[in-house]
Each structure stands twice: as C-alpha cells, then as structure tokens.
Structure 1
Amino acid sequence: MNMMLGSRASTDVIRHGSPKAEIEGFFSVGNNPHLEAILLENGIEVSDELIIRREIFQNGRSISRVNGQMVNLSTLKAIGQFLVDIHGQHDQEELMRPQHHIRMLDAFGDATFQQLKTDYQMLFDRYKSLRRQVLDKQKNVKENQARIEMLDYQMAEIEAANLQSGEDTSLQQQRERLMNHKLIADTLANAYVMLDNEDFSSLSNIRSAMNDLQTIEEYDTDYKEIAGSLGESYYILEDVTKRLGDLIDGLDFDAGLLNRIEARLDVINTITRKYGGSVDDVLTYFGNISKEYSLLTGSDLPSDDMEKELKDLEQRLISAAESLSQKRHELAQILSKDIKQELKDLYMEKADFQVVFTPGKFSREGNEQVAFYIATNPGEEAKPLVKVASGGELSRLMLAIKSAFSRRDDKTSIVF
C-alpha cells in the first residue's frame, strides 16, 4: 500500500522471472476540495473514482499513473495523503504517552484552529527569547558590574567631548597659523612688495620686457619663443600677486578664536591622552567599548525597554493562551462525541471517552495539559486510558481515533 502511494520502490516485490511488478488501487472519493485542487493542477480528470497504478521495473525505475495520467512521486504522495491513513505501531505508542495527547487533539482542529495555535506559538517563542535576554542581561550586569560601570563612564566621557574625525589635526593647523600670525603677515607682505611695488615692481619690469620682445618676435623664432615664455611667466606671477593680495586682505588676528582653539585642544588632549593618540584613535576605541558594553549588558535595548516589552508580551501570551484553550475545549467536545460514536460501531457502545484538561506551565502547546480518559463499563469513573485500557481496547480506541480523523480529512481508506 505504501509503495502504491509513493514510498520508495524495491525490486524485491517483483516476482522471480517477471520484468516488473504492478500495484493498482481503486478508490471511491467524495467531495474533497484539497484533493480536487491537486488533481486539476496536474491535469487529472476529477471524478468519484480514482485509480492509482504503479509499475516497478527490474532496473529500479517506476512509473506511476492516476486515472491514466502519468505523475511523479511527489504528486503521488500528495494525492495519497488524502486517500489512505495507514496505522503503524508508532501511532499506538503515541496513544500510550499522555504528553502526546494534546498534539493529537490539536491535529483534529481545522485550519482556523491551526492558525490560532501557530500565532500563539510565535508569540510564545518571542516571549521565551526575550525573557532569556532579560535574564542573561541581569546576570551579566551582576557578574560584570565593575567593568560595565567603567565602560559606561568612559563612553559618557568620550560622548561629552563630542569629537569629530580629524578635528585635532584641523585645530592644530589653525592654532599654528594664529600663533605665527606676525611672521606669516610679514612674509606675505614682503613677497607682495617684491612683486608689485610703486618704487620697484618686478611685475612691471617683466611686463615691459615682454612688451619689448613682442615687438621683435617677427624677426626670429627664438625671439618669439622667449617672448612667449616671458608672457607665460608674467601671467603666472600676476596671478600669484593677486592671490597674495587676497591673502593679506584676509589676514585677521582673532585672539578670541585662538583662546577657543586652545581650550578645545585642551579638552581633546585630555581625552586622547587617556584613550588614544589621536581623535580618530579615540573614536575607534569608543566603537569597540560600545560593542563590549552591549555584549555585557545583553542587548542594545535599555533594560527598562526590554522589561516593558516582556511584560507586554506576557499579557498578550496569557490572552492568546486563553483563546487557544477555549477553542481547544470546543474541539475536545467534538472529538469526544465522534470517538464515542466510532466506539459504538466497534462494539464498545457502553464506553465513555473524555478529554481531561489540567492547568500547566506555559509551553509551545499552551498553558494546560491534556489527557485521554476512558471508562469501558457503565457506572465506572473514567480513568487515564494509559492505566486502564487493555491491549484490545487500546487497538479499538486507536481505530476509533483514526476513523474520526479520517472522516474529518475526507480520507477514503484506513489500513489498520
């Protein structure tokens, strides 16, 4: 059966001397939108009957067909899950483990219930993760308090300095210019005078020489070349003279600015002596200790924000668990009713099946525990089935559960 529905093929099933083995199944199918969607998607005619045929050859290859249409194994498996529920020993073992009962009950729920549970589990996972972060942060803070306090002090001191990359170099240059203002002013003025002075102007003399040479450049190419070179020099010197004049006009000794620069450099030097050779070194150090601080405290978020978010998640988790529990109780009533009906068909018409809830710790399944109880004789109090059910009763109960689940899933067959 498993092989017909897409499990791994084995050549052991081929009769000796035969080229292949053929497995065929005939199924009557009702209204199943999910199954119909798969059939239509693969170009298979939808009808009340479904014929699955699989051929297995000696070389290990196999060919699968559904209503005559060839399909691959993944499609065959997808179709098979809506047709047959095959009972295995593992299923009965799960029934004997009460911790699995809650998942068995939840599996009976529809898509809306499954989404409700998924939403709860996502919320629980987020709560659990954040709670671990908060606890780790509290632990780290306690164990590394001295280091954290020192890093906190250093970060605050560096932040208060409001350092800018390259600031120390720029301020040093400004300071040097202001400290040497007289030397700079005298030098610039002297250079300007040497180039353009009323009594003796180098620029005027060069211009005169250039003009004279231009009057004879037509007589010899050398004269023309010299006149051109002299002209280039003149225009360069003229530009230099203009720039010197602009610099001299812009010179202004600002004692207040020098004092402010000196004060700022004092702050910078205090910081760089403690944390690095330059402002850029200090900024690199600040980045490193910020990362260490975040690691020791467990998060980039402040503790108050994390704890506030944790409390908010806790309230949402409680609300989600209550909603899940309410729907689960409704689901339990439906499942109990269906299983009781199935048990009647299995000659256990006097048996009583119950789903019992007890409060529990929060987990991914909710904040309650579920156990299946059964009473096989009238007047008996229902007790945990793992304690009172005999082997035969357990098998019939498993068949009843399988039947109830198969009817919900619109499966046509159960192999038990």
Structure 2
Amino acid sequence: MLIIDRLELAFRPGLNVLTGETGAGKSILLDSLGFVLGWRGRAELVRAGADQGEVQAVFELGPDHPARAVLREAGLPEEDDLILRRINTSEGRKTAWVNDRRCSGEVLRRLSETLVELHGQHDDRGLLNPSGHRMLLDTFGNLGSARDKVRHAWRKVSDQHDALKKAQGALEKVRAEEDFLRHAVSELDALDPQPGEEAELDTRRRLMQGAERIREDIAKAAQALGGEGAEGRAGDALRWLEGAADKAEGQLDEPIAALGRALVELDDASMGVTRCLEALSFNPLELEQTEERLFAIRALARKHDVAPDDLGGFADTLRRKVSALEQGDADIEALSRDLAEAQKSYDAAAKTLSDARHKASKHLDKQVMAELAPLKMDRAVFETVITNAEPGPAGCDDVSFAVATNPGAPSGPLARIASGGELSRFLLALKVCLTGGDSGLTLIFDEIDRGVGGATADAVGRRLSQLAEQGQVLVVTHSPQVAALAAHHWRVEKRTIGNETLSTVTDLETGDRVDEIARMLSGDTITPQARSAAKALLRV
C-alpha cells in the first residue's frame, strides 16, 4: 500500500496511539483501514511496481455484537473472529471477503458502522454530520422506548391513511358507474335468469317450431298402430288363430305365441307415439313467450359480455358493488375516525418524545459545557438546537449541535463556526458525553488534538484515556501529552533504502517511548531536558 511493503499490527484494548513525523505514513494506515472497511476514499492504495495491495483486519465479536446481525442478514458466516479482507489491483479492481466469503463493498460499509467510528477535523460521517444529531441526542437521553412508540404510531397513521385513500378511490370508481349499476341490477333482478335455463328454452323453442311439421305424420302413425290399425288387425288375427288352434294339431302354437309378443310391442309403440303427440300439443302463445325470454337472456348476456349461465353470478357481483356504494359513506366515515384516532395517538407520542428531547438537550448542553472548561474553552457555548420538522417516524423535531466560540458571538454548526483546534475539542467533549457503556465500536481520533498544547493537550489526553476505559481507542497524534497517556504506543517511521521508500511501525517499550516523546517535545535533536520532560510525562 503506497509506501508500505508488509505490515502487521495488533492493537489492544485501551488507548492506542500512533506517533511519528508528518509524512511518515500515519494517514496511510488509516486509509488502509478505511479501505478494508469499504469506506470511499483514496483509490491509489497500491505501491508502485506492485500488482496489487491487500489489507486484512480482524475484529473480536462479543456474543451480542451488532455486527452479527449484519452478517446474518447478508448470509455470511458468523464467528467470534470477524476477518475482513480486501484487495485492490493496480488497475483499480477491488475484491472483498468476509470470513473467506466474497461480499460487496456495501456489506463492508454496513459492517464498518458497527465496528469503527472515526472522528477528526474532516470527518463527515460522525459528529459533524447533522443528519445523525437527532439519533445521538435520543441515545444520550435513553429515548429509544419513546422513539419506538412514535415509530409505531407513525406506522399506524400511514396504514390508516392508505386504507382511507384506497376506500375513497374505490368509492369514487363505483360512484362513477352508479347509474349503470342500479339499472343493470334492476334488469337482472326483473329477468332473474337461472343457470341452464337458456339451453332449456332453446330446446323447447326448437321442439315447438318443429312440432307442426311432424305432428301430422306422427298422428297417422298412431292411427295405423291403434285399434283400427295394426294393433286391432293383429288382435283379430290372434282371435281367429286361437279359435282354429284346437283343430290344427299344434301347428298354430308358435304363430299364436309370436302374435302375442307382437301385440305387446305394438302396444308399447302405440303408447310412445301417443305420448309424443301429447308433448307436441302446445299453445301458440307459449312459443312466443319462450322466444321472448330466450332472446331477453341472450341480449343481456351480450350486453354484459358474459355467458348466459353466468348472468346470475354477474348479478351478484353488481349487487355487491351497489351494496358497497350504499355502505361507502359509512365506511369512509369510520376510516376517517380511525385515522383521526391514529393521528391523535401519534401527536401525543411525538409531543412526549419532543418534550423528552428538550429535557435531554439541557442535560447534554450542561455536560458538554462542563467538559469544555478543562479543555480551555470555558468561554465557548455549546447548544443543542431543536426545531420543528415535518412529522415522520422519528417525530416532529430536527436536532443539530451548534456552537459559539465566544460569548455574544453568533452560534452555528460545529464544522462552520469552530477553528481546527476548537473543533477538535468540541468533538472530544461531545464524544465523552455521548459515549456510555461498551458499544463494541473501536473509536479512532485522527489528529483531534491538533492546535492544542500544554494543559489543554493533557486534558484532551485524559478524556481520550477515559473513553478508552470502555473499549478500544486509536489516536493519531502529534501531542506528547496525549501520547504519554497511552496504554500502547506505536511509532510510524519512513525510511529510504536504495531507491525505495518504505514506512515501518514499531511497538514501543518504556525506554523507546521516552525517546519518542522527547522527540515530539524537542524535534530531531533530543536534549537531556526533553528526555527529562518525557519521563515526567510518562511518570517513569
């Protein structure tokens, strides 16, 4: 990575400091960490002549560390050691792995939000970003429960609003066709078509239409089969044969039996023909009525573009629409009442949250002001500004942190009003007040002590040390007072070997720390006085 060939650092719990001359490579170390965390920044992190640069970072995760939720959501392996690895080729292609599984830069950035928090004079991701001030105030005031109530109430308002809007739209659509609906239902109710009726009417109509043409022939057949026709003559023949049978010596037995069977069949045939004649007997008015109803059913089916057998179901659908129309105003009124109740609940929850924020802001302002005094900014003013905002899931407040560096001076946003040194101290005081408990985050302060020295630098160092008691803090510093308070101290150096310039990092023991802090006090030439002062700072 640029002037780094190969480097492995094992930062430890507590306050870790990186010191070294300007240009030694301290910023490159932070750039490398930001690279493996997916932060958008310098893209040329490949040393000249190398095919690629690789950064690997290992984080220890507690059982409830928030990074675990990100891993689960992304479908990545969840282990106690979180290993991030990212490669950048000389052509600018980047590839990332999480626990040896390929992942996107976006996943890295989401993980980084749970792992590392960077603070510095050019930090737009942390305390200088006004978009996060409201959440910081809520966290400081333990307002999570009140905020959840507001979010729940807002969701209910949104749901009720959507339901009302949907009902109003449906009602307007039904009203646009009200005349048609009522007329159509009236027609269908008057006709009352039944499933299968169209086919029955069609069959009956065709039967009646053909009845006149076939009735005459059927009547002739009935006459030919009846008592004066085939059936009567066969009966006569049977009687004549039965009278002669005694003298025929059995020769007529078989013909007599056949005639008996024939008479039975003739009787069945005659009865069937008679029934058909009765069925073909109809009133001419009946044909007219049948045709009228059949044509009416078919006309309604064509009008509504449905099958004749589906007219009954279609009528039920139209009736439901008419019923919805008649019930519509009552439904709209009920939904409007529900929305008003939901809005009332939201307003109450939002006001409770807003009141709590105002109360918490006073406590925060008081605590920050108390922190500013030891940092030699006792004349400065810090204020949490709460203004009205459009209602939303987080309430009706906008929150921003404003400062005035001198009494009577106008206040404004942190990044615009405070100078470099003042800004560093404001950020540190604010961070001390906002940090509570072990968040699982590694805090990084990039030259946050720039522009301060003496007792003020000592106060800065003590507050950094206080923050480090709750976890891990990394500080890039040029202040000997801050460096002297570190639990772990690394020196970054740049060396030229032949035509190659490389940056190295050394873990300093007590004796080496004396020399490094003496260098920070006196410059390149370490004097006995500087070494003595360094020992005093280190208390050795």
Q: How far is the alpha carbon of 1:388 from its aligned partner?
A: 12
> 1:178·1:253 contact (CA, 8 Å) conserved in 2?
no
Q: Residue in 2 aligned with 1:200?
A: 229
Structure 1 position 278 matched with structure 2 position 299: yes
Q: 1:336 to 1:180 in 2, by over 3 A?
A: same
Q: CA RMSD in A?
A: 5.9
Q: 1:6 to 1:33 in 2, by over 3 A?
A: same
Q: Residue in 1 aligned with 2:497?
A: none
Q: How far is the alpha carbon of 1:16 from its aligned partner?
A: 0.6
Q: Residue in 1 aligned with 2:473?
A: none
Q: How far is the alpha carbon of 1:281 from its aligned partner?
A: 1.7
The 5 A counterparts of 1:40-59 are 42=77, 44-46=79-81, 54-58=86-90
> 1:403·1:414 contact (CA, 8 Å) conserved in 2?
no
Structure 1 position 16 matched with structure 2 position 48: yes
In structure 2, how many angstroms separate the alpha carbons of the residues matched to 1:387 and 1:63? 35
Aligned residues: 360
Give 2:441's match in structure 1, choosing from 405, 408, 411.
411
> 2:405·2:418 contact (CA, 8 Å) conserved in 1?
no
Structure 1 position 390 matched with structure 2 position 417: yes
Q: 1:36 to 1:304 in 2, by over 3 A?
A: closer
Q: How far is the alpha carbon of 1:415 from its aligned partner?
A: 5.5
Give 2:331's match in structure 1, choosing from 293, 302, 305.
305
The 5 A counterparts of 1:192-341 are 193=222, 196-201=225-230, 244-248=273-277, 258=286, 262=289, 265=292, 278-284=299-305, 302-327=328-353, 329-330=355-356, 333-334=359-360, 337=363, 341=367
Identity %: 15
Q: Residue in 2 aligned with 1:369?
A: 397
Structure 1 position 35 matched with structure 2 position 67: yes
In structure 1, the residue corresponding to 2:331 is in which secondary structure? helix
User: Greater CA deviation, 243-252 or 178-187?
Assistant: 178-187
In structure 2, how many angstroms separate the alpha carbons of the residues matched to 1:166 and 1:415? 82
Q: Residue in 2 aligned with 1:126?
A: 159
> 1:82·1:410 contact (CA, 8 Å) conserved in 2?
yes
Letter in 1 for 2:397: Q
> 2:157·2:343 contact (CA, 8 Å) conserved in 1?
yes
Q: How far is the alpha carbon of 1:174 from its aligned partner?
A: 7.9
In structure 2, how many angstroms separate the alpha carbons of the residues matched to 1:335 and 1:26? 37
**Of the two, which has the highest radius of gyration?**
2
In structure 2, the residue corresponding to 1:369 is in which secondary structure? strand
> 1:23·1:54 contact (CA, 8 Å) conserved in 2?
yes
Gaps of 5+ in 1: 209-235
Letter in 2 for 1:281: R
Q: Residue in 2 aligned with 1:222?
A: none
In structure 2, how many angstroms separate the alpha carbons of the residues matched to 1:237 and 1:403? 118
Letter in 1 for 2:157: F
Q: 1:333 to 1:199 in 2, by over 3 A?
A: same
Give 1:190's match in structure 2, choosing from 215, 219, 223.
219
Letter in 2 for 1:284: D
Q: How far is the alpha carbon of 1:280 from its aligned partner?
A: 0.3
Q: How far is the alpha carbon of 1:399 from its aligned partner?
A: 6.1
Q: Residue in 1 aligned with 2:520?
A: none
Q: How far is the alpha carbon of 1:5 from its aligned partner?
A: 0.7
Q: Which of the two has greater helix per residue?
A: 1
In structure 2, how many angstroms separate the alpha carbons of the residues matched to 1:345 and 1:242? 119
In structure 2, how many angstroms separate the alpha carbons of the residues matched to 1:415 and 1:241? 116
Q: Residue in 1 aligned with 2:449?
A: none
Letter in 2 for 1:307: E
Q: Residue in 2 aligned with 1:73?
A: 103
Q: How far is the alpha carbon of 1:70 from its aligned partner?
A: 2.9
Structure 1 position 154 matched with structure 2 position 183: yes
In structure 2, how many angstroms separate the alpha carbons of the residues matched to 1:391 and 1:17? 42
In structure 1, the residue corresponding to 2:35 is in which secondary structure? coil
In structure 2, how many angstroms separate the alpha carbons of the residues matched to 1:388 and 1:18? 39
Q: How far is the alpha carbon of 1:86 from its aligned partner?
A: 4.1
Q: 1:249 to 1:137 in 2, by over 3 A?
A: closer
> 2:86·2:95 contact (CA, 8 Å) conserved in 1?
yes
Q: 1:388 to 1:411 in 2, by over 3 A?
A: closer
> 1:38·1:79 contact (CA, 8 Å) conserved in 2?
yes
In structure 2, the residue corresponding to 1:6 is in which secondary structure? coil
In structure 2, how many angstroms separate the alpha carbons of the residues matched to 1:71 and 1:174? 74
In structure 2, how many angstroms separate the alpha carbons of the residues matched to 1:361 and 1:340? 28
Letter in 1 for 2:418: G
Q: How far is the alpha carbon of 1:309 from its aligned partner?
A: 0.9
Q: Residue in 2 aligned with 1:227?
A: none
Q: 1:123 to 1:85 in 2, by over 3 A?
A: same
In structure 1, the residue corresponding to 2:44 is in which secondary structure? helix
In structure 2, the residue corresponding to 1:12 is in which secondary structure? coil
- Give the TM-score normalised by the residue count of structure 1: 0.58
Q: How far is the alpha carbon of 1:319 from its aligned partner?
A: 0.9
Q: 1:384 to 1:265 in 2, by over 3 A?
A: farther
In structure 1, how many angstroms separate the alpha carbons of the residues matched to 2:431 and 2:269? 100
In structure 1, how many angstroms separate the alpha carbons of the residues matched to 2:118 and 2:384? 25
